[in-house]
Structure 1
Amino acid sequence: MRTTLRSLLWRTALAAGLVCAVGLLPWLAHTDPALTVLKARSADRDPDPRVLADIRAQLGLDQGPLTLLGRWLTGLPRGDAGRSWLNGTDVTPAVLDALGASLLLMTAALAVAAVTAALVTARTLRGGPAGLRRAAAAHRRRGGSGTAVLAALPEFLTASLLATVVGVQLGWLPALGWYGPRWTILPALALGLPAGAVLGRLLDDLLPAALAEPWARAAAARGLPRRRIARQAVRRCLPALLPNTSLFVVGMTGGAVAVEQVFDIPGLGRTTLQAALAQDLPVLQAGTLALLLLAAAATALAHLASRLLTGPALRDGALPTLHPPAPPARTALPLVYGGALAAVVALGLPRDPLAVDTGARLHPPSLPHPFGTDALGRDVLARVAHGALDTLLLAVSIGAAALLAGVLLGLAPRLSGPLADTVNAVPPVLVALLVTAVHGGGATTPALAVLAVAWAPLATHTSALLRQERATTHLAATRALGAGRAHLLRRVLLPAVLPSVARHALLRLPGTALALASLSFLGLGAQPPSPEWGLLLAENQPYAERAPWTVLAPAAALALLGALAVGAAAGVRLPRRRRARTQLPLPRTEYAA
């Protein structure tokens, strides 16, 4: 009870601090809120001092940020979140409508993600305990290439392709608007397919260990149906995935800004972003608070479901011992993917990515321009190759830092749990705005903003795996033999957790690269003519139907990066230590990975 109360107080303090920071955003950025509101209301109107003074008096800006924040907080118990600074309408109904649209889209996207994850894991589950080694080896030989490509596709690119091809050209489904269930299908596919691919990979990483446990082998020996064994294996693995699932829920709702903009959906993420860019503080604060409450609800449901699925095993330390899965098969696919990506970079680096040739606008691929040209006649191959250097190096650096921070914070779940839930509830764009206000703009702003949120899923994954590992019988036996905390952490817990979390970090590498570029495109980092991959996708998106090569080239580079990350993740294992011949070998469970 005391632990629950402490966690609740910690979450409340974090949420209050974040809401207060959002309320102080214009003053932290040293900008004039009245000038920002005037530009948002009428961009052509001159900033006359009298007009700015009238706006300050109308909004109460002369009273200072603390008075405005206190007035907004005192109105919340009455359901009054203030009025919009831009149009004067009540904030509460608008935020609730946006939240309803996002919840509906999130529900449909979760259904798509569940189906996608089921398809990813179908081969492993179909093999069952008897064919586990064969199925796992075949899966690792394939390297998960299709899943990697699906997970690496940017959401706004997927949304644009679905809207253009399925909605406009074929006319099968509506491409714009938000008027009923049929309008949710394409946005749900754009959001759910990448999330389902990542969740499916994480689940498929845990299934071999579950199917190798004694209960699964005993059930197969008794002749129980494979479907029943597969269902119990999924249930066995879900407690380790549910915390990440709750993070996906919040990410879908708060981070689907691009998809909501492509399909013109009045969702919570888009509403919060527009309010942040216009510095409409009442809407921004209410949207941020709604995201935080949604994160708290999703986290509480995930913890409750984990307890119900696992039962008293976590409390009593009675989970069965995990056996190591079959070792990954040697495959040359990561070398092929890495070689292809390196060849693209090597061929494009000697070319000039900024050379403009207006006479060669939107030319298709040819010998002089293997990837074609863009709307300004610039060589797409040169831009993809030069963009790979900044994008990949920065993404790898952020991924390594996020992995280190996630593992270290995951070892202290009482501290990292509430912090991760709070951080994940905030869209990266809002974090970038806060970083810009405190640190200032520049090329480092996207890196700091992405790093500020990238560690949260890894810390949650680490905590979930450690919670399950601490409940195993072999750990209780090792502790009973006199092993201390340092020995258990170094020799048992970390070897069981690090490979899975490292694979998770590699799976998120393409998304990190895309998040960096998308923030730069929003004006919070590097600006055109920088050849970052996300900028290339965004700049060429209007020409996707007329000149698809301008979009397919950077998308293919991201897909290659995803395939390379998944192929490399399949072989991540801790090296086994050499032991003296006179020393008895430790049980196999100490090497569980």
Structure 2
Amino acid sequence: MRRTVGALLWRAGLAALLLALVGLLPWLAHTDPARTVLKARSADRDPTPEVLAAIRAELGLDQGPLRLLGDWLAGLPRGDAGRSWISGAEVTPAVLQALGVSLLLTAVALAVAAVTAALVCARTLRRGGRARPGGGGSAVLAALPEFLTASVLATVVGVQLGWLPALGWYGPQYTLLPGLALGLPAGAVLGRLLDDLLPGAFAEPWARAAAARGIPARRIARQAVRRTLPALLPNAGLFVVGLTGGAVAVEQIFDIPGLGRTTLQAALAQDLPVLQAGTLALVLLAATATGAAHLLARLLIGPALTDGALPSLHRPTPPARGVLPLVLAGLLVTVVTAGLPRDPLALDTARRLEPPSWSHPFGTDALGRDLLARVGHGALDTLTLALALTAFSLLTGVALGLLPRLSGPIADTVNAVPPVLGALLVTALAGRGPGTPALAVAAVAWAPLAAHTSALLAQERASLHITATRALGASPWYLLRHELLPAILPPVTRHALLRLPGIALTLASLAFLGLGAQPPDPEWGLLLAENQPYAERAPWAVLAPAAVLALLGALAVSAAGGVRLPRRRARRKPAAR
């Protein structure tokens, strides 16, 4: 009981700290809220001292940020989150409506993700866990940018073919295309994580005994999925919150009035009542999703976590063999080296948006610049920074995941912050600069890895061989070094490699706010953002950087197949004298 109360107080304190940072955002960034509000209300009106003074008096800005925050918190028990500084409308109904829209969209996206995950691991299920993960198709899906997928679906399926509505929010049918754009990458990641655990479940004694007794393979496969789900549920809970608050680009493309878009607009306009209410809704949703995930995990695996007799899902396996990683790496190196001798900044407006040719193998962009040159020169910064952030996220996630009571509430709170809002907070605290996007991504990218580490750690600690080793007198340090870390590090490392393309894309998405790479920088994600308006007229301008990112994702996942738990060397018996 004491631990439960302590955990609740820890979560409440973190939520209060986050809301305080959001409430202090304009003052931390050293910007004038009155000037920003005036620009959002009427961009043509001159910001004279008299006009700004009137806005400050109207909004109570002269009372200071702490007074404003206190008044806002005092109204929450009555359900009063204040009024919007921009529109003057009540905040609570607007945020609840946006939350309802986002939850409906999230439900559709989760359904798509579940189907996608089932397809990713279908081969392993059919073969009883004997199929070695391939990862090619799932890697491409996981590496596709959500805003690119949304643009293609809206343009091709919605506009050109007219099969489904593409813009607006007028009924359930309007959720299908954005649900596909959000659910396909999420399902690919979850499917790969599930596929990574299934061979261990099929190798457990109960599965072998069931197969020997002639129990149908489908029943064994269902139980294997149930056996592996508890290790994935914490990440599934993080996906719920991420799909709700992080779907800003998809909501913008499909013109959906969701919570992510509402929060982003409030952050850019410094509409603090709306921004604080949206952040609070995301924090509460994160707590609810995490609690439901932990409860479901307990229901699925039950007392096995406490009786110390749970089989281990992770056992020594030979490393994956094949030439696919070498082929993919060779293709990536070939593309980069072919682009390096070319000038990425050379303009030729007479050759704007030219299709691929011998002189321009990837075509040209809207300014006539060679896309192969821009892809090649952007590789160094993109890959170096993405790899560094992936390594940092892995180390941080594992270190904090080993302390679940400390990291669990922090991960839930961090995950409730959309990447764009996180970037604004980091900018306010650290200032605007070339390192701001890296700091923003590093602040949130460790959370899924920490959740994965904690879930695997809980199951591994309850395994039979850990109980036996502890009974033989092994110290906690010995267990951590020789038993727990060797079992946890390989799957978490594969998870980190799977998220490498996503980190590269998150860095790119921050360019929309003026944070990070700016034109004419040839960063890969920025290339996607620059050429997205020309996707229908010149699809090669978008497909070139998207294909390279997909190639990076396929390489990361195929290389992750070689990260395995090493076999232990048998100790030699002393020679008889």
**What TM-score do you get using the length of structure 2 for normalisation?**
0.98
Indicate conservation of the 8 Å contact 2:234/2:455, yes or no.
Answer: yes
**1:336 matches 2:336:** no
Q: Which residue of 1 aligns with 2:500?
A: 509
Shifted more, 98-107 versus 325-334: the winner is 325-334
The yes-or-no answer on 1:167 pairing with 2:158 is yes
Change (3 A) 1:488 1:184: same
- C-alpha separation between the residues in 1 aligned to 2:343 and 2:40? 38
Q: CA deviation at 1:23?
A: 0.1
Secondary structure of the structure 2 residue equivalent to 1:447: helix
Relative to structure 1, the CA distance from residue 268 to residue 323 in structure 2 (aligned partners, 3 Å threshold; closer, same or farther) is: closer
Give the deviation of 1:210 after TM superposition. 0.3
Moved more, 381-390 or 245-254: 381-390
Structure 1 residue 328, shift from structure 2 partner = 3.8
Counterpart of 1:189, as a letter, is L
Contact 1:246–1:299 under 8 Å retained in 2: yes
How far, CA to CA, are the matches of 2:305 and 2:109 in structure 1? 31
Q: CA deviation at 1:583?
A: 7.1
Q: Report how far residue 252 of structure 1 moved.
A: 0.3
Across the aligned residues of Structure 1 and Structure 2, the Cα RMSD in angstroms comes to: 1.2
Shift of 1:522: 2.0
> Do the aligned partners of 1:208 and 1:326 also contact (CA within 8 Å) in 2?
no
Alpha-carbon separation, structure 2, partners of 1:442 and 1:412: 33
> Equivalent residues in 2 for 1:70-89 (5 A)?
70-89=70-89
1:229-255 per-position Cα deviation (integer Å, ceiling 9, x unaligned): 000000000000000000111100010
The Cα offsets for residues 178-219 of structure 1, whole Å up to 9 and x where unpaired, read as: 111110000000000000000000000000000000100000
Q: Which residue of 2 aligns with 1:431?
A: 422
Query: C-alpha offsets along residues 512-561 of structure 1, whole Å, 9 cap, x if unaligned?
Result: 00000111232122211111111111111111111000000000000000
Deviation at 1:579, TM superposition (A): 5.5
Per the normalisation by structure 1, the TM-score is 0.96
Deviation at 1:285, TM superposition (A): 0.3
2:188 aligns with one of 178, 181, 197: 197
SS at structure 1 position matched to 2:121: helix
Match of 1:151 in 2: 142
Q: Which residue of the partner structure matches residue 115 of structure 2? A: 115
Counterpart residue number, 2:265: 274
Structure 1 residue aligned with 2:90: 90
- Tell me if structure 2 keeps the 8 A contact 1:212–1:323: no
Q: Of 206, 223, 226, which residue of structure 2 is paired with 1:235?
A: 226
Is the 1:212–1:325 Cα contact (8 Å) retained in structure 2?
no
Report the equivalent of 1:19: 19
Amino acid in the other structure paired with 1:104: L
In structure 2, C-alpha distance between the alignment counterparts of 1:525 and 1:151, rounded to whole Å: 23
Counterpart CA distance in 2 for 1:472 and 1:347 is 51
Counterpart in 1 of 2:384?
393
Give the alignment of 1:301-316 within 5 angstroms: 301-316=292-307
* 1:285-312 C-alpha deviation (Å, 9 max, x unpaired): 0000000000000000000000000011
User: 1:327 deviation in Å?
Assistant: 2.4
Distance in 1 between the 2:483 and 2:559 partners? Answer: 24
Correspondence list, 1:150-549, <5 A: 150-322=141-313, 324=315, 326-549=317-540
- Is contact 1:101-1:266 (8 Å) kept? yes
Equivalent position of 2:126 in the other structure: 126
Cα gap change, 1:583/1:539 in structure 2, threshold over 3 Å: closer, same or farther?
A: farther
Matched residues in 1 for 2:572 and 2:463: separation?
Answer: 28
SS across alignment from 1:87: coil
Q: Secondary structure at the match of 2:446?
A: helix
- Write the distance in 1 (CA, Å) between the matches of 2:125 and 2:316: 14
CA gap 1:442/1:263 in 2 versus in 1, 3 angstroms: same
SS in 2 for 1:524: coil
Distance 2:122 2:145 in 1: 25
Tell me, in whole angstroms, the C-alpha distance in 2 between the residues paired with 1:97 and 1:329. Answer: 49
Q: Aligned partners of 1:107 and 1:269: how far apart in 2?
A: 15
| Distance in 2 between residues matched to 1:401 and 1:555, nearest whole Å | 25
Q: Could you give the per-residue CA deviations for residues 447-495 of structure 1, whole angstroms, max 9, x where no partner exists?
A: 0000000000001100000000011111111100000100000000000
State the distance in 1 between where 2:107 and 2:313 align. Answer: 33
Name 1:63's counterpart in structure 2.
Answer: 63
Calculate percent identity across the aligned residue pairs: 79
Cα separation, 2, equivalents of 1:42 and 1:236: 57
Contact kept in structure 2, 1:213 and 1:323, CA below 8 Å: no
Deviation at 1:325, TM superposition (A): 6.1
Alignment of 1:39-54 (within 5 A): 39-54=39-54
Q: Distance in 1 between matches of 2:116 and 2:411?
A: 26
Paired residue for 1:32?
Answer: 32
CA distance in structure 1 between the aligned counterparts of 2:21 and 2:485, rounded to whole angstroms: 36
Q: Quick one: distance in 1 between partners of 2:11 and 2:479?
A: 30
Cα deviation, 1:309-329, whole Å, max 9, x if unaligned, reads 001111222212446264243
Query: Once the 2 structures are TM-superposed, how far is the Cα of residue 387 of structure 1 from its aligned partner?
Result: 1.3
Checking the alignment, whether the CA contact within 8 Å between 2:426 and 2:439 is kept in structure 1 is yes
The whole-number CA distance in structure 2 between the counterparts of 1:256 and 1:66 is 31
- With over 3 angstroms needed to count, the CA separation of the structure-2 counterparts of 1:466 and 1:484, relative to structure 1, is same
Does the CA-based 8 Å contact 2:389-2:438 persist in structure 1?
yes
Following the alignment from structure 2 to structure 1, what is the Cα–Cα distance between the partners of residues 179 and 526? 24
Of 558, 574, 581 in structure 1, the residue corresponding to residue 572 of structure 2 is: 581
Q: Distance in 2 between matches of 1:323 and 1:24?
A: 46
Equivalent position amino acid for 2:380 in 1: L
Give the AA of the match of 2:421.
L
Work out the CA distance in 2 between the residues paired with 1:493 and 1:508. 23
**1:4 equivalenced with 2:23 (yes/no):** no
| Structure-2 residue corresponding to 1:562 | 553
8 Å Cα contact 1:151-1:197 kept in structure 2: yes
Quote the Cα distance in structure 2 between the aligned partners of 1:254 and 1:322.
33
Q: Is the 8 A contact 1:391 1:517 kept in 2?
A: no
Pairwise CA distance, 1:64: 0.5
Q: Distance in 1 between matches of 2:484 and 2:15?
A: 31
Displacement of 1:438 in angstroms is 1.2
Shift in Å, 1:37 = 0.6
- Contact 1:510–1:561 (CA under 8 A) maintained in structure 2: yes
Shift of 1:580: 4.6
Per-residue CA shift, 1:419-470, capped at 9, x if unaligned?
Answer: 0000011011111101111111111010000000000000110000000001
What letter corresponds to residue 474 of structure 2 in structure 1? A
SS in structure 2 of the partner of residue 285 of structure 1: helix
For residues 314 and 338 of structure 2, the distance between their equivalents in structure 1, rounded to whole angstroms, comes to 46
The unaligned stretches of length 5 or more in structure 2 are none
Q: Distance in 2 between matches of 1:529 and 1:318?
A: 59
Q: Could you give the per-residue CA deviations for residues 487-507 of structure 1, whole angstroms, max 9, x where no partner exists?
A: 000000000100000000000
